[in-house]
A and B are shown apart, each in its own frame.
Chain A
């Protein structure tokens, strides 16, 4: 008896208990429950061992049972979802809070079924990957979108850790899952607000600039019109020497040049003031954009897939501007598919090397595609297929890419849809920041 107890103590105390105490003090609920569950599993094993060894150690067993009962009560009454899953995703156990979370009426609705049945299709891969890591021994935290048994869409966050048997083999995943829907909605609201603010700010800056430029251009244009009208009137009424027209016509030319000069200044201003070139990981920009556009994509039931190249060299860009470009292209794709009411809505973003010194970013959609006869015009100013579009998005995108020394292309996908690609120069020893900046102005 004495021996048996100390065996059990050895098994459940030591580092486990220390860890348990630590996390309890640390206050992380998920950690606490994981700790409790680990302790519980160890208890169960200890109990089994003891039973094998000395089946008459009633009081030890009683105490172990008592412990297990206590742990079980804690887990059962735990307000967060606690569940155990097998490596293939089968749900082994789940507490009442978990049943509520997935909208199950009884345990049989979910126990024995694959967890993937409640994971939104676009998150299945992410979910699998995280499960794989847990069964390799990692503790992970991941978010996913769930479609519950009653088809309710919810955002969930799971803290998952591996459970090991006596021999140290991982036999289950212990997951604590929380419903993040409200939290997500608040976050989205904030983000939407932010995006709207940024859009308004951008529009008003553009508006002010446009007014300023319009005023500046009006001067030479008025002068040209006045000189020309004065010439016409004199020619009509006759009786003037042709050399009298020389001076006003020279003025016309001069004023036209002045108008051109104003436009050149505007272009220089836009280029110089706004490009802040730095080496950046293009995949990082893509991920950031996917975050911004997640909400819109979801609202239009569009799945965004990423196929990002590994070990891509950094590109030398103004990341805000390139973010803007990718954002425009993704939004464009999402809107075009929604507009066309495409049944299958997917945006695929790929990144890869292009030649030896460029990275190519590709945004493909599963929409109706663009007619071959106009595909070369999509990047032109004021070209739009959208009833409310002004046709500026892609043309701005092109000028941004070109100001970075890159190129844009549009083509129809082999299985339908539209593919827009652009290239960016990689940042390297051979192209210093200074040289790059110069070449932008050439």
Chain B
């Protein structure tokens, strides 16, 4: 996986540069954007990391950008930076699923801690996403008959019962079952059941 990046969106260039200087001091990769639109245009969702977003910006505000990202199913964790007395906005941001917020003027350690946590959350999320995608790919590789057999195995039926149910010989069921185990990289029946349930939920 690529190195996590902290994306900073702030219309005040001096503030953006100062945040870059601060965050780079803990050896994190930083990219800055002068507006919400610039971020939407330049952001590659495959990059891991987090977004540090000024709540008040001319044009598209921080909250607007959050809404746009949600609509595009981009789930990068967002840390809002709010001005003095912007509690209302902070509450709205959190309700809309923001990871956290810091109020200006903020403590540097506080901000860096939150950034680290957000990055960890994103990595975790991306790991789970990758696993789910992989599982889905494995299921897709099964033939229709193999899926039928898998479904009945997961329901707890014996080979004989499956054979009767599908009008196949026990021997044939045995072959399909071995094939499924192999394709799904499952080491045991319980492994297979777990995978099927995960796929079902995803």
A233 touches B18 (CB 8 A): no
Task: Decide if A272 is an interface residue (CB 8 Å cutoff).
Answer: no
User: CB-CB contacts of A216-260 with B at 8 A, as 1s and 0s?
Assistant: 001111111111011001100100000000001001001100100
Say if the beta carbon of B64 comes within 8 Å of chain A: no
Q: Is A214 an interface residue (CB 8 A)?
A: yes
User: Which single member of A211, A218, A222, A237 contacts B18 (CB below 8 Å)?
Assistant: A222
Do A225 and B14 touch (CB < 8 A)? no
Q: Given that A226-B19, A227-B21, A230-B25 are known contacts, is A255 also in contact with B14, CB under 8 Å in the complex?
A: yes
B57 to chain A, nearest CB (A): 12
Does A225 contact B17, Cβ atoms closer than 8 Å? no
Q: When A226-B108, A229-B108, A233-B26 are in contact, do A219 and B21 touch as well, CB less than 8 Å?
A: no
Task: Determine whether A152 belongs to the interface, using a CB cutoff of 8 Å to chain B.
Answer: no
B58 at the interface (CB under 8 A from A): no
Decide if A219 touches B24 in the complex (CB within 8 Å): no
Cα distance, A251 to B18, chains bound together (Å): 8
Chain A min CB distance to B13 (Å): 9
Q: Which of B24, B25, B106 has the most CB of A within 10 A?
A: B25
What's the Cα separation between A219 and B108 when bound, in Å?
15
Cross-chain contact A219 with B15 (CB below 8 angstroms): yes
Q: Does A215 have its Cβ within 8 Å of any Cβ on chain B?
A: yes
- Tell me whether A219 and B84 are in contact (CB under 8 A): no
Inter-chain contacts of B22 with A (CB < 8 A)? 226-227, 229-230, 233
- B167 contacts the other chain (CB 8 A): no
B105 at the interface (CB under 8 A from A): yes
Interface pair A226/B15, CB less than 8 Å apart: yes
B185 proximal to A (CB < 8 A):
no
Interface residues of A in 184-236 (CB under 8 A from B): 211, 214-215, 218-227, 229-230, 233-234
Residues from chain B with a CB closer than 8 A to the CB of A220 are 14
Q: Contacts A215-B84, A230-B24, A251-B18 known; list 9 others, CB within 8 Å.
A: A214-B85, A222-B18, A223-B18, A226-B15, A227-B18, A229-B22, A233-B22, A233-B108, A254-B14
The 3 closest A-B pairs by CB, nearest first: A226-B18, A233-B25, A230-B21
- In the complex, 25 of the A-B residue pairs with CB atoms within 8 angstroms, ordered by the A residue number, are A214-B85, A215-B83, A215-B84, A218-B83, A220-B14, A222-B18, A222-B105, A222-B106, A223-B12, A223-B15, A223-B17, A226-B15, A226-B22, A226-B108, A227-B21, A229-B22, A229-B108, A230-B18, A230-B21, A237-B25, A248-B18, A251-B17, A254-B14, A255-B18, A258-B14
Which A positions have Cβ atoms within 8 angstroms of B?
Answer: 211, 214-215, 218-227, 229-230, 233-234, 237, 248, 251, 254-255, 258
